[in-house]
A = this chain, B = another copy of it.
Amino acid sequence: MLIKTYKNISCSNCQSKSHSLIENLNSEELNNLEQNRGCSFYKKSDYLFLEGSYPRGVYCLNHGKVKVFTRGNEGKEQIIHIAKPGEIIGFRAMLSGDPYLVSAETIEECAVCFISKDEFFKMMDSNSEFRNDIIKGLSKELGERAVSITDMAQKSVRERLAVGLLQLKEIYGTEPINLSREDLANFVGTATETLIRLLKEFKNEGIIETQTRKVIILKSDKLHQLAGK
């Protein structure tokens, strides 16, 4: 699946470092990391890891987007998170010691660095700032997921789409949101047909614009309103 292995991305100069947990490593640690990690290109729809398998390390996303999802009853995906450059993916399972509960798959071409379990734990042990960032990250995400559970249980699909689009705006920044309708539906937690119909409504209401599959948000304020609080 993997196109090419390369060693030419430097951690010290990684353009995603500043929004990454590795930003608090000192230059010695960064150099060491650079020696001990492997980097790979992945094309679209490649897996980083699969639900049920055991983690052997973590993945640091340099370029591209990765969807993290579980599979429910009839194999339907529920997208839990969409990772953007700088993010470390898959450390949860490694820290808990369990097999992955989620799968990770690229949704565009990606450059990803692999940091082995040993290396990762070494960094956790030796650098308390890094460790605290990991702990903070876990805690923050845990809080966010409590909100997601509530949203899933209580909000209508329309409200959830508004919430979801706002989250995706944070992830995609100024670029248009570039997800398949099916992925978008699996992120919002609805049927693809329902999602398409709602997108059309939002479009008619002037809230969004679509360029074939791409979605551009025109009125964030309106989405906030629709999202309810």
- Interface residues of chain A, those whose CB is within 8 Å of chain B, are 70-73, 76, 78, 80, 92-93, 95-98, 101-102, 134-136, 138-143, 145-155, 159, 189-190, 228-229
Contacts and interface: CB of A to CB of B under 8 A. Distances in A.
Contact of A138 (B93, B138, B147, B154): B138
A36 to B, nearest CB: 22
Contact of A102 (B80, B95, B146): B146
Given A72-B153, A73-B159, 17 more contacts: A70-B147, A71-B150, A73-B155, A73-B229, A76-B154, A92-B139, A92-B143, A95-B139, A96-B139, A96-B142, A101-B146, A101-B147, A135-B135, A141-B142, A145-B145, A145-B149, A153-B190
8 contacts: A72-B150, A73-B229, A78-B150, A92-B139, A93-B143, A96-B142, A101-B143, A134-B135
B142 A145 contact: yes
The 7 closest A-B pairs by CB, nearest first: A153-B189, A96-B139, A152-B152, A72-B154, A145-B145, A78-B150, A95-B139
Contacts of A93: 139, 143
A155 B70 CA distance: 13
B149 A148 contact: yes
A49 to B, nearest CB: 14
Contacts of A148: 145, 149
Contact of A98 (B143, B151, B229): B143
A207 to B, nearest CB: 20
Q: Which of A70, A97, A143 has the most CB of B within 10 A?
A: A143
B78 A136 contact: no
A95 B149 contact: no
A59 to B, nearest CB: 16
B98 A228 contact: no
A143 B73 contact: no
A67 to B, nearest CB: 13
A147 B78 CA distance: 9
A140 B96 CA distance: 6
